[in-house]
């Protein structure tokens, strides 16, 4: 196993991975931290990438911590879940059933455990920043809203979660809340793995009491569909485009850049590109994870 180093491109057998997370233009002007987080790791031939977007509103005043804990929890559980040794085709159906029935709750529970540990070591009552946020919440929303967060501290850490897992036999996609997982399949089809449509500004979150029931998850054997390129992004990215057509064009752009300039070129410039996108677009934090199948760079590959 090697631990993520966000300054370097990662390669795993037939896959190359890179990514970046930047503070949005609006957050920079307001002196707020980046609420997003990204983490990727490999182990025993498996690759997992996770992206999380902390909600950032006043009642979610520890969401930048919540997002970091979310990607850690996701990577830990995903790599543990797929540690099944030599995977046969006959085992895929059993694994597919297991991940749909058990995996969402395991990840949510792991995140909640990490949040609990952080909270117990950083009680609101002993944290000046937390006390200031709670006071402001009381002033703006009333004492009942403040009490609601104090009585249910996990709300302060609210965040979304996107995960992609690549094994030797299948890919797995997991989404809770907004953000996007975009996929270029071997047949050239572009797909958006998206959670159910949500109405209004609110999004599903790890801090919800029934969070695991809000997860969309899919396991796809490579015998059915082999991804050539996967893009994970928080909603600050897609919200920076005028329409879906412009957004999907970036799949071709990132592939062309990799082919003509190399992955290291993308890795060196990605943060700067995302900062410009935020400035000219949504103003929000943006996190982007890119997963390339090395077949894309094989001249003999059709």
Question: Is the separation of the CB atoms in 214 and 16 below 8 Å?
Answer: no
Q: Give the integer Cα–Cα distance in Å for 43 and 166.
A: 11
Instruction: Please write the tens of the pLDDT for every residue from 132-189.
Output: 999 999 999 999 999 999 999 999 999 999 999 998 889 999 999 999 999 999 989 9
Question: Is the separation of the CB atoms in 50 and 57 below 8 Å?
Answer: no
The per-residue pLDDT for 3 is 30
Q: Give just the sign of the alpha carbon dihedral 54, 201, 32, 21.
A: positive
86 versus 126: which is more confidently predicted?
Answer: 126
Instruction: Please write the tens of the pLDDT for every residue from 250-274.
Output: 999 999 999 999 999 999 999 999 9
Q: Give the integer Cα–Cα distance in Å for 193 and 190.
A: 10
Could you tell me the pLDDT band of residue 6, with boundaries at 50, 70 and 90? very low
Instruction: Please write the tens of the pLDDT for every residue from 9-68.
Output: 554 568 999 999 999 999 888 888 999 999 999 888 889 999 999 999 999 999 999 999
199 versus 224: which is more confidently predicted?
Answer: 224
**What whole-number percentage of the chain has pLDDT above 90?**
73
Whether residue 2 has pLDDT greater than 60: no
Question: Is the separation of the CB atoms in 54 and 35 below 8 Å?
Answer: yes
């Amino acid at each position: 196993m090697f631990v993520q180093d966000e300054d370097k491109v990662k390669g795993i057998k037939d896959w190359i991975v890179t990514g970046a997370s930047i503070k949005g233009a609006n957050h920079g002007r307001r002196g707020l931290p980046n609420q997003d987080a990204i983490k990727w790791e490999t182990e025993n031939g498996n690759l997992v990438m996770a992206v999380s977007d902390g909600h950032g509103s006043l009642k979610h005043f520890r969401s930048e911590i919540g997002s970091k804990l979310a990607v850690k929890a996701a990577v830990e559980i995903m790599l543990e879940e797929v540690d099944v040794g030599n995977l046969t085709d006959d085992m895929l159906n059993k694994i597919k059933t297991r991940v749909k029935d058990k995996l969402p709750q395991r990840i949510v529970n792991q995140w909640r455990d990490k949040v609990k540990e952080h909270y117990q070591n950083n009680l609101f009552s002993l944290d000046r920043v937390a006390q200031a946020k709670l006071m402001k919440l009381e002033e703006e929303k009333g004492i009942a809203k403040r009490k609601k967060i104090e009585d249910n501290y996990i709300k302060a850490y609210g965040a979304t979660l996107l995960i992609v897992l690549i094994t030797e036999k299948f890919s797995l996609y997991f989404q809770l809340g907004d953000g996007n997982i975009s996929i270029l399949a071997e047949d050239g089809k572009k797909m958006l793995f998206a959670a159910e449509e949500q109405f209004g500004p609110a999004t599903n979150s790890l801090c919800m009491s029934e969070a695991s029931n809000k997860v969309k998850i899919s396991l796809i054997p490579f015998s059915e569909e082999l991804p050539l390129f996967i893009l994970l992004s928080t909603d600050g990215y897609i919200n920076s485009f005028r329409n879906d057509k412009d957004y999907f064009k970036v799949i071709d752009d990132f592939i062309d850049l990799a082919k003509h300039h190399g992955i290291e070129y993308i890795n060196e410039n990605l943060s700067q590109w995302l900062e410009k996108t935020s400035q000219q677009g949504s103003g929000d934090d943006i996190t982007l994870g890119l997963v390339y199948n090395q077949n894309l760079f094989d001249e003999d590959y059709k």
